């Protein structure tokens, strides 16, 4: 009887260990998915905001499609968060973020309608939307940190730096776009709570430095060199704004950096 008990214990112990390990892996995967969705959510909303500022000056249909694309991408990320059963964040936390997102979408719709009907935006509503974008994305960042802490998720520091750099780049794009569009630039300079562009640019310097330093595959090195080259080409325009700068060039190179950072994250995670 004693031998049978020992044998049972020897069988049960590994099963319990495997079950606990499996649960930990699922929790880790759930947290990683949450972090990716929250990252996409923040970047997509700033991309939509950047597109709106350009749309406000031109009313261009192609630019309007960029707004829709950004909002749809943020919607997809928000839906993925809401539908997850990982339990990383509470329903109350997710609903609070969704409410902030609804406010942003409503303001975006109203501002688009103003431009389409009158040919120019209502600067009060534009200001409200810019401030709401900042508030909403600060909330998303707060939940990003909560998701990390609640599951003890240790993300590759270079992945974290790349994500932070992407959010910073998208935020800077939107703020630069305000200053480059005559329809809003005279009396409106973006969210009243954001840091000046030159300060944000220096923060991006540090983040990109953290991403670029370190070992990597030849493919990763090519991507990082491209990011570095593009940033050096437009950095001066962000540090010292000049009306003679060509806005669409800054926008194109900034988007190239965002694309490069997305590829960097994929490569770093694939090598983990």
CB 106 within 8 A of CB 77: no
Using alpha carbons, select from 194, 151, 147 the residue that is nearest to residue 170.
194
Residues 5-42: tens digit of each pLDDT: 545 455 444 333 333 333 333 344 456 788 999 999 99
Cβ(175)–Cβ(190) below 8 Å: yes
What's the pLDDT score for residue 27?
42
Check whether 232 has a pLDDT greater than 90. Answer: yes
Q: pLDDT at position 8, please?
A: 44
**Cβ burial 237-262 (10 Å sphere, 16+ → b, else e):** bbeebeeebebeebbebbbbbbebbb
What would the mean pLDDT of 111-115 be, rounded to a whole number? 94
Inter-residue contact 200 to 249 (CB < 8 Å): no
Q: pTM for the complete prediction? A: 0.85
Please give the average per-residue pLDDT across 180-194, as a whole number. Answer: 57
CA pair distance 34, 86, nearest whole angstrom: 9
Give the model's confidence band at 242: pLDDT under 50 very low, under 70 low, under 90 confident, else very high. confident
Q: Which of 205, 224, 208 is nearest to 216 (CA)?
A: 224
DSSP conformation class of 60: -
CB burial of residue 92 (10 Å; 0-12, 13-18, 19+): exposed
């Amino acid at each position: 009887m004693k031998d049978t008990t020992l044998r049972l214990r020897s069988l049960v112990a590994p099963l319990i260990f495997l079950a606990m390990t499996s649960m930990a892996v699922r929790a880790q995967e759930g947290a990683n998915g949450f972090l990716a969705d929250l990252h996409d959510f923040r970047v997509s909303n700033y991309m939509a905001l950047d597109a709106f500022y350009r749309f406000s000056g031109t009313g261009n249909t192609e630019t309007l499609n960029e707004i829709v694309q950004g909002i749809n991408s943020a919607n997809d990320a928000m839906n993925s968060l809401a539908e997850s059963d990982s339990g990383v964040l509470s329903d109350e936390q997710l609903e609070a973020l969704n409410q902030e997102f609804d406010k942003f979408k409503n303001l975006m719709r109203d501002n688009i309608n103003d431009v389409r009907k009158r040919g120019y935006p209502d600067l009060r509503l534009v200001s409200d939307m810019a401030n709401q974008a900042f508030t909403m994305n600060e909330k998303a960042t707060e939940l990003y940190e909560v998701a990390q802490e609640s599951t003890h998720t240790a993300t590759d520091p270079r992945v974290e730096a790349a994500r932070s750099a992407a959010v910073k780049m998208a935020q800077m794009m939107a703020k630069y776009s305000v200053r480059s569009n005559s329809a809003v630039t005279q009396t409106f300079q973006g969210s009243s709570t954001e840091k000046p562009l030159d300060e944000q640019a220096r923060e991006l310097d540090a983040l990109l430095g953290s991403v670029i330093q370190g070992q990597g595959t030849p493919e990763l090195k090519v991507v990082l060199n491209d990011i570095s080259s593009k940033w050096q080409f437009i950095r001066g325009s962000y540090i010292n704004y000049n009306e003679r700068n060509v806005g669409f060039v800054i926008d194109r190179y900034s988007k190239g950096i965002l694309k490069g950072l997305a590829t960097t994250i994929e490569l770093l995670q694939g090598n983990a």
